[in-house]
A and B are shown apart, each in its own frame.
Chain A
Amino acid sequence: MGEDGVMMQFFSTLMFANPLILFALAGLPVIWFLLRVIPPRPRVIVLPSVKFLAGLIPARTSPSRTPWWILLLRLLMLALLILSLSGPVLNPGSDLEKGKPLTILIDNGWSAGPVWDKQVKQASQLAEQAARDDIPVMVIPTAAMGPEAKDPPRPMPASDALAFIKGLAPKPWDTDYPALMDTLPKDRGQVFWLSDGIAHKAFDPLAAALERFSLFHPSLESLALTLNIKHSLSGVEISVEKPMDKMSLDRPISVQALASDGRVLGFQTLTLSDTDEAPGFFDMPESLRGHVAQYRLAGQPGAGSVFLLDESFQRRAVGVAAPSEEGERAPLVEAGYYLRRALEPYADLAFAPVDKLTEQNRSMIILPDIAAMPLEELNALETWVDKGGLLLRFAGPLMAENVKSLPLVPVALRAGGRALDGSLTWDKPLKIKSFDEKSPFAGLEIPKDVVIRQQVLPDASEDLSGKIWAELEDGTPLVTAAPYGKGLIVLVHTTASAEWSDLPLSGLFVDMLRRLAAISNAPSLQKQEEGAVTLDPLMVLDGFGVAAKPDAGVKPIELKELQDGIKIGPSHPPGLYGRAGLQRALNIGEGNFDLKVLGDVPSNVRKITYDTSFEISLAPPLLMAAAILLLLDWVVMILLAVRVRFGFALVILMFMSVPVQAQDLEYANALYLAYVKTGDVAVDQASQQGLENLGHVLTERTSAEPKGVAALDIAIDNLAFFPWLYWPVTGAQNAHDTEALQKIQSYLDHGGTILFDLRYGAGQDAQASANLQKITGALNIPPLQPIPADHVLGKSFYLLDSFPGRHTTGALWVEKGAAQGRDGVSSVIIGSNDWAAAWAAEANPGALPGGSRQGEMAMRVGVNIMMYALTGNYKADQVHVPYILERLER
């Protein structure tokens, strides 16, 4: 096939919805002509010698032309516009036969998750076509119906069908073809089956019943997979079931481990090769493993790609028998210490008396050298083991002395034990023989320096065959085990402390305990409840594998049903079922669903792959291209008209906003005194002058050196940079709008201090406080009190007992109690002595009634307020009290 062939193929897949509009393309030459005739706007050129041009007539009378490339640009734009209006469609959909009703079957079982988007897209496309041709549509989802939907499918108008399709979602259970066959309507017309690519049960009979139909199927990459997880001795086994045996995926599959709160704890990438059936292993620290709530195939929506973990996967609950729960009394000597250190990272460990442990239904109980126990406890323990618990016992001096009446041991023991190391023996301490293949400890590496110095030995009459899990080099047993009822009793013939052997000091001890914990299982519940236990649905998965709340259609499961193997369906979707103390997960990966790719179909069935069948409308990209050309044209016009000045203006625009920030930057970089502008010129001037003088005084006398004075407009300026604000209150100030109030509140809440100055002196008239009320009424200000005699404000720099300004008698109010979280600095200080006026009068102290003395005192008040705002309550420290007292007495 040559190039022509390819082109032909391309055009055969291109169709125009409104081909008549294409005739408008014939008009392009006319537009070309028009565009050429209409001249471009003349450039305006400024020239002083313009009068020498007057009366000059160019030789060519026709106006100058638009440059050819601009013309080309505009024509291209128009052509694109016309093309897009003609509605070109790539891959026009398969033609529907007119007049015949349309039936759409959609596979919406659990395996439809990964294909669902394509199915819906295809179904919508079919419905849209049907709407164009005015054909009734019947949509039949194939998943088993829940009890809530019993209506058989009916033909409906295409627009309704479209809405119905949009409302469909895949179900987390299997399809139900047999039930479908029963309800299949007679008058089906043309049938389209949008399958998920999996050959579900009874596919062939249904295909035969449908006779002629078109079958859509996805490409192999988007077929469903199922995930199954097993915890085994070698780790977390991942097995992924594929619909085809010989199927290799191009992409690696990522398995994610998620915690119950949705955190991703880890992920493992697998490649599914052609034949590989061996499971992969999830590489994850064992301490993290206990937190995993579910595993999922990343990027593969569907209930089958999620595997929920139930209790049986959780960290094993291990109990260590101890007299009390207080823990060990003598670390390094006691067995409990070694057990705790070994098991704590891997198991849910508890130290408790035996009866408590059996009550808690632990999966493994460890008895370190306990020979006798109260009868009740023994009975409870026996029952627990009988039901499936794993009892791990360690030998020791106590056990060696009391072998006669020793209950719950795998082998009968000889009294006295055997010391391999001591002054009266010939034996040397023995090492551990490598583990047998059948032993649960198989494969563990034995450290060379571990020796056993003392052990208990089984009675000679005992049959040890099959009971020995570990031996010493001379063939004497180290670990023996025997089943007891449904449970297991394991005896380690030496101590769990370092008394008899080095074993507890080695890593092998940890590994052995982990193996044992891994094979332990919590025994099933108490006998009287067994059989009648129902597990309520706690959480179910939807068709995409997303956790959801169970709805009314989900039924509780009998524990017995679960053990017998329950079928996942509308009343039992995959999810977590359980009750207090018992949880079971239903997973599709464990269910016995056939996962097989669609095989051959009857010859009268048309097979179509989804991706090749979608219509692609070319109008939007064409319109987009036209719009881009339009923008380009516009930019060219601007550049031609304005030339350099355009870029210049842009640069200016970019820098327009900078000055505002620059001022903030200045305020942020240095200490500024700030006052609030009132709008009253005299007051503002006094504030400005007063704060400037205060600034000089601060610079002279203290280490606070304000750089300047900022006059703030509460509505506009950023308050955050100033340690305190001086706010003279006048009658002219209006209440602030919400935004300004929020700003003030935020300033106060974040450590700012505002000094409100009513400026009226003692006997303040009601007007002043009304003014203040107007400003602060909507603010959240803590309760205030007249300043107490020992307030920090009176000693933050100078020792002051009054706070004079221009007036001397006005009261000063501060926050009641130490302001929490702001270093004791009152957020609001309210006074009426008109300090700014006093500060401003520094050069002319005669203006104050008290003369320069009063001016100095007012200045000291200012210094104290500044220090108070900056340093907080540190002057309130007790450290300074004696010194201050001394000075006060003097």
Chain B
Amino acid sequence: MLAFLDRIRGQAERAASGVPALVMRAESIASSIMHGEHSKRRAGTGEKFWQFRPYDSSDRPQDIDWKQSAKGQHVFVREKEWQNPQKVLFWCASGSGMEYSSNPALLTKHESALVLSLTLALLMTKGGEQVAALGHKRPGRSEAALQSLAETLTRNPIKGALPEAQALPMNAALVMVGDFLDDLDDIKTCFDALDGRSRQVILIQVLDPAEADLPFEGRALFRAPGLEASEPVRIEHVADIRREYQARIEAHRAGLAELCARYGWLYLYYRTDHDLASVAEELWVKTA
């Protein structure tokens, strides 16, 4: 852990980019959450001691535990618990919409998504899982793998509002973080493709409080961020339509949650003004 910290600090000095700060944040959140291994409660190829059992002709001689055998008449073999490390792939939405925060004091949606992803990745590697960015490199559980994930997610953001199903290997778990503000139909098409490849999917929807609440007054001209010009929307009295807007957003979220439930995926909602640690903890409890 310390070595990891040292390394990312060193990198921070060199790269002077936001990555280390985000990783630090993720680590501080992760360290506050209890974690454990995905024990399978049976003998297997794990690290942990499981049981001693008498030597069998089918066992390899090098598996004999000589210390234990010397205590009695029988020859014992040391068995370890069977642990099944999972490959977890991470995907963060990017794009101009994600680079938005309504208040300079808040993280942008993309930053929040990164912190969430890294926190989860950190916790998972502690739990013995192998992590990687979707479509990048081989998954691993080493510090290097974590670092590579962090760098990939921040430096080479994945283009596109939704993940590409082809990039997902079979039977790997997927963590998707994004705002998922696209039309539900598009999302469904994408998820259908994903569903064929993986059963274990976590979807975290990140929204800015301004997107959730529309806390504006008076006369305003709303414009989507980024260069891709969408038609600006002129509203004379923002206060008048606030409730209606909130209902629409709410409906969209409900639709997304329902979609996830249909696939048996885990759906989580996070507002950037809420406490990151609590969300991460909830996430951990639910995935464990």
Contacts and interface: CB of A to CB of B under 8 A. Distances in A.
Interface of A: 39-54, 56-64
A275 B237 CA distance: 80
Given A47-B211, A51-B224, 4 more contacts: A42-B219, A44-B220, A48-B98, A48-B100
B48 to A, nearest CB: 46
B234 interface: yes
Given A46-B100, A48-B100, A53 B208 contact: no
A60 to B, nearest CB: 5
A-B interface, 5 closest residue pairs, ranked by CB to CB distance from nearest: A58-B240, A48-B97, A58-B237, A56-B241, A49-B211
Contacts of A62: 236
30 contacts: A39-B236, A42-B234, A43-B216, A43-B218, A44-B221, A44-B223, A44-B232, A46-B223, A46-B225, A47-B100, A47-B210, A48-B96, A48-B98, A48-B181, A49-B181, A49-B207, A49-B249, A50-B222, A50-B223, A53-B233, A53-B245, A54-B233, A56-B235, A56-B245, A58-B235, A58-B236, A58-B241, A64-B218, A64-B236, A64-B237
B281 interface: no
Nearest to B217: A64
Contacts of A61: 236
B230 A51 contact: yes
A46 B240 CA distance: 19
Contacts of B199: none
Contacts of A52: 181, 245, 248-249, 252
A48 B235 contact: no
Nearest to A54: B233
A60 B97 contact: no
Contact of B223 (A40, A47, A60): A47
Given A46-B100, A48-B179, A63 B236 contact: yes
Contacts of B207: 49
B221 A42 contact: yes
A60 B240 contact: yes
A62 B237 CA distance: 9
A51 B241 CA distance: 14
A50 B230 contact: yes
Contacts of A60: 236-237, 240
B220 A48 contact: no
Contacts of B237: 58-60, 64
A53 B237 CA distance: 12
Contacts of B252: 52
Given A49-B211, A53-B241, A63 B248 contact: no
Nearest to B251: A52
B19 to A, nearest CB: 23
Interface in B232-288: 232-238, 240-241, 244-245, 248-249, 252
Interface string B95-136: 011101000000001000000000000000000000000000
A48 B225 contact: yes
B95 to A, nearest CB: 9
Nearest to B244: A56
A646 to B, nearest CB: 15
A58 B238 CA distance: 7
Contacts of B249: 49, 52
A47 B224 contact: yes
Nearest to B104: A644
B103 to A, nearest CB: 11
Contacts of B181: 48-49, 51-52
A45 B236 contact: no
B221 A53 contact: no
Contacts of A56: 233, 235, 241, 244-245
Contacts of A40: 218-219
Contacts of A41: 219
A45 B100 contact: no
B223 A45 contact: yes
A58 B241 CA distance: 5
A661 B219 CA distance: 45
A47 B222 contact: yes
Contacts of B231: 54
B217 to A, nearest CB: 8
Contacts of B236: 39, 58, 60-64
Nearest to A61: B236
Interface in B81-97: 96-97
Nearest to B109: A48
Interface in B122-164: none
Contacts of A47: 100, 210-211, 214, 222-225
A48 B211 contact: yes
Interface in B184-222: 207-208, 210-211, 214, 216, 218-222
A642 B220 CA distance: 14
A45 B97 contact: no
Contacts of A49: 179, 181, 207, 211, 249
B222 A48 contact: no
B109 to A, nearest CB: 8
A41 B236 CA distance: 11
Contacts of B235: 53, 56, 58
B273 to A, nearest CB: 15
A547 to B, nearest CB: 69
Nearest to B233: A53
Nearest to A60: B237
Nearest to B230: A50
Nearest to A67: B218
Contact of B224 (A42, A48, A58): A48
